Amino acid sequence: MDILHLVDRLEELFNESRPIPFTSNVIVDEDRMLDLIDQMRVAIPEQVKKAQKLISERDRTLAHAQEEASRTLQLARDKSKDMVERDSIVDTAHSRAEDVLDQAQLDAEVIRGEADDYALESLTSLEIELERLTNQVRNGILALQQQAAAQPHNKPPESGSSD
């Protein structure tokens, strides 16, 4: 469930709550409040799970790049052993193997940097969203407290009794 919808429902719960006379407190339905809190606990970790999934994908990509670099290097070494009789060919093979390894390492660094940037961007967006939600909740609480303080502190009429 969307965390913003849950925050709206939390605000509704506060708005529907009865004020306690002569205080800035309200009476809320405990079951509904706990249900909303449980739903928020479920919703927020989903965002965190997405960020963790991105990090896992980055790690898999890096591991794959390292495997590819090792495989390429091993192929280059195997080929260079077959051509040991010719010095110039051996020199060329060594040079090419180093070039391939250097390129594979550069590619791995680029992939790692892109994955880190993407994970950082996702986590930063999540942090901004969580801060915005926290501010909305704080503003809602403050508004309710101010509203409760501004209302006359009369007792609400009791139901079922007539004078």
In a domain, 161, yes or no: no
In a domain, 158, yes or no: no
Contact 139, 10 (CB under 8 A): no
In a domain, 155, yes or no: no
CA dist 160 → 16, 17, 19, 155, 157 (Å): 21, 20, 19, 15, 9
In a domain, 116, yes or no: yes
Residue 109: φ, ψ to 5°: -65, -40
For residue range 96-118, what is the model confidence (pLDDT) as tens digits? 999 998 998 998 898 888 888 88
In a domain, 108, yes or no: yes
The total of other beta-carbon atoms located within 10 Å of residue 150's CB is 8
CA 17 to chain centroid: 32
In a domain, 101, yes or no: yes
Q: What is the pLDDT confidence band of residue 154, given thresholds at 50, 70 and 90?
A: low
Find, among 41, 107, 44, the residue nearest to 52 by Cα.
Answer: 44
Residue 160 has pLDDT above 60, yes or no: no
In a domain, 97, yes or no: yes
For residue range 54-103, what is the model confidence (pLDDT) as tens digits? 889 999 999 999 999 899 989 888 877 776 666 776 678 788 999 998 99
C-alpha–C-alpha distance, residues 137 and 129, integer Å: 12
Find, among 17, 15, 78, 11, the residue nearest to 40 by Cα.
Answer: 11
Domain that holds residue 102: 3-148
C-alpha–C-alpha distance, residues 18 and 155, integer Å: 11
Please give the tally of structural domains in the chain.
1
Report, as an integer, the average pLDDT of 119-127. Answer: 87
